[in-house]
Amino acid sequence: MRRKLVVGNWKMHGSHAANAELLAGVLAAKPYLADVAMCVPFPYLSEVAVALTGSHLLWGAQDVSAHEQGAYTGEVSSTMLAEFGCRYAIVGHSERRACHNETDQLVADKAKAALAHGVTPIVCVGETLAQREAGETEMVVKRQLSAVIHTLTHCIGEIVVAYEPVWAIGTGRTATPEQAQEVHALLRKQLHAATPHAGGMRLLYGGSVKPDNAAALFAQPDIDGGLIGGASLKAGDFVAICRAAA
Ligand code: PEP
């Protein structure tokens, strides 16, 4: 039985005051029956770590460098994240693939760098609307995951995968539970071919998950929780989604 995982992705939102209010609201509603984590902008890692220490809630970053250290201005390594007690790092979010030209191989290298220092990568895959309408969903998500499988080899079982159809992110348009399950089943099958641990791996769905659609998505057999963007910024909504994952 896989324990559900709900991860908030704050994206580039936050302030000291807003973070304190949001964290207080999420903490006030614990305990949770699912694992809950928040992936926050780098400057806020320290305060989030302090606020969540001892709470069983976990925290993470929204990106990580593929490099260990050196002349990579603006990048943050997994060694640094590990120092903050970061449990997770999102890699390959569609906003980074699109705005920062991240390739499948770079995403795979980032996932490898994260794992090397005990930070679990949450690897995002997903098709655009044009790709879905062209019938390319399976090909695209398998290609994206394949790069990670070939780079991580025997460690692949240690990652979390998030299926995030690009057309559903921040648009209010959610994949139906059946559409999401169909892709999750494909991804699980691909992982089964790569590792004996695929049955225990957590595959998250992301894309306009809200309190009113979360339970139906999380009830699907291969959906093990969610990666939550906009709704993770409102304590009440995020708490309701975490409860739907019980
Ligand atoms: C995300 O940013 O990963 C995401 C899924 O965003 P939203 O929930 O706002 O669609």
Nearest CA to ligand 1 atom 8: 229
| 195 pocket-lining for ligand 1 (C-beta < 6 Å) | no
Ligand 1, atom 1: closest residue by C-alpha: 229
Mutation probe of ligand 1 site: the residue of 95, 227, 233, 238 with most atoms within 8 A of C-beta: 227
pLDDT for position 146 = 98
Q: Output the pLDDT for position 182.
A: 98
Map out the domains of the chain as residue ranges.
5-244
* 196 Cα: distance to centroid of ligand 1 (angstroms): 30
Mutate-to-test residue for ligand 1 from 11, 88, 90, highest number of ligand atoms within 8 A of CB: 11
Structurally, what CATH architecture does the domain formed by 5-244 represent?
Alpha-Beta Barrel (3.20)
Residuewise pLDDT in 10s, the chain (246 residues): 899 999 999 999 999 999 999 999 999 998 999 999 999 999 999 999 999 999 999 999 999 999 999 999 999 999 999 998 999 999 999 999 999 999 999 999 999 999 999 999 999 999 999 999 999 999 999 999 999 999 999 999 999 999 999 999 989 899 999 999 999 999 999 999 999 999 999 999 999 999 999 999 999 999 999 999 999 999 999 999 999 998
Residue 203: CB atoms within 10 A of its CB come to: 24
Asked if residues 157 and 198 have their Cβ atoms less than 8 Å apart, the reply is yes
Which pLDDT score is estimated for 106?
A: 98
CB-ligand 1 contact for 137 (6 Å cutoff):
no
What's the length of the chain?
Answer: 246
93 is catalytic: yes
- Token pair of 145, please? 């995951």
174 lines ligand 1 (CB under 6 A): no
State yes or no: is 21 an active-site residue: no
Written as one letter, the residue type at 140 is V
